[in-house]
Chains A and B, each alone.
Chain A
Amino acid sequence: RKEVEQDPGPFNVPEGATVAFNCTYSNSASQSFFWYRQDCRKEPKLLMSVYSSGNEDGRFTAQLNRASQYISLLIRDSKLSDSATYLCVVNNQAGTALIFGKGTTLSVSS
C-alpha cells in the first residue's frame, strides 16, 4: 500500500458544484494531516490543516477518520479559481518529514 494515496482525477465540475476528494494513508502513527493546493507550475500552498474533530474554512471542509486512515476534503459552491491540484499530506512515523500524495486535479468550468 502506498504511503499516501489519492484519486488523481481529473475532476471536471461546473461552477457552483460540490466536490469531494478522498485520501488514504498507510502509517497509523501519523499525527499531522494537511491539504495543500498547487497551481500549475507553482509551489504548493497550505490550504488547511486537518483536525480529528473535522474543520471548516469557508467553503472548504476537511475530515479525518483515524480508524479507517482516511482524509477527505469537501469544496462547496466551486469557483473557477478553485481549479488546481490538491495534495493530501501526512507526517511520517518519526514526525520528521511530510509525505505528499500525488494530488487530485480539479477543473471548474463556467
Chain B
Amino acid sequence: DGGITQSPKYLFRKEGQNVTLSCEQNLNHDAMYWYRQDPGQGLRLIYYSQIVNDFQKGDIAEGYSVSREKKESFPLTVTSAQKNPTAFYLCASEGTGTDTQYFGPGTRLTVL
C-alpha cells in the first residue's frame, strides 16, 4: 500500500540524549515536512524539504536537524538543545504541483 510511515509510534528519551525519528514515503512525493503538535495547539512547522539534498528551516527549527539523502526518507533528529521536546511529531509529504499534504501516523516523544 502507498503511504507514509513513521517510527517508532512512541519514544521515550532521557534528557540530554539525541533521538532520531523516522519518516518514509512511497508516494513518489518530492516535498516532505516535519511538524510538531503540542496539546491544544496547532501544528508548527519544524523543517521541510522540497527536493532531495535540500531542506529549509520552518518556524521552530532550533534544536532540530534533518537530512534528505533519498526521496523516500526524511529523518528528524531531536537534539539535546531542544528545550521542550515532549510533543507529537508529524511527518507529511506533498506531491509536485499540489498543496495537499498527507500525514504519517506520528511519533509521540516523551522526555523523562
Chain A positions near chain B (C-beta within 8 angstroms): 4, 8, 31-32, 34, 41-46, 49, 87, 91, 95-98, 100-103
Contacts and interface: CB of A to CB of B under 8 A. Distances in A.
B42 A102 contact: yes
21 contacts: A8-B40, A34-B100, A43-B103, A43-B104, A44-B43, A44-B90, A45-B103, A46-B100, A46-B101, A46-B102, A87-B43, A95-B99, A96-B48, A97-B33, A97-B58, A98-B45, A98-B99, A100-B35, A100-B42, A100-B43, A102-B42
A100 B42 CA distance: 6
Name the residue in A31, A44, A45 with the highest tally of chain B Cβ atoms < 10 Å from its Cβ.
A44
Q: Chain B binding site: helix, strand, loop or mixed by DSSP?
A: strand
B96 interface: no
A7 B41 CA distance: 13
Interface residues of B, number: 21
Interface string B22-51: 000000000001010000111101001010
Contacts of A100: 35, 42-43
Q: Chain A binding site: helix, strand, loop or mixed by DSSP?
A: loop
Given A31-B99, A45-B103, A49-B100, 17 more contacts: A34-B100, A41-B88, A42-B106, A43-B90, A43-B106, A44-B43, A46-B100, A87-B43, A91-B99, A96-B50, A97-B45, A97-B58, A100-B35, A100-B42, A100-B43, A102-B40, A102-B42
B18 interface: no
Contacts of A91: 99
A95 B94 CA distance: 12
B77 interface: no
A45 B99 CA distance: 14
Name the residue in B90, B99, B101 with the highest tally of chain A Cβ atoms < 10 Å from its Cβ.
B99
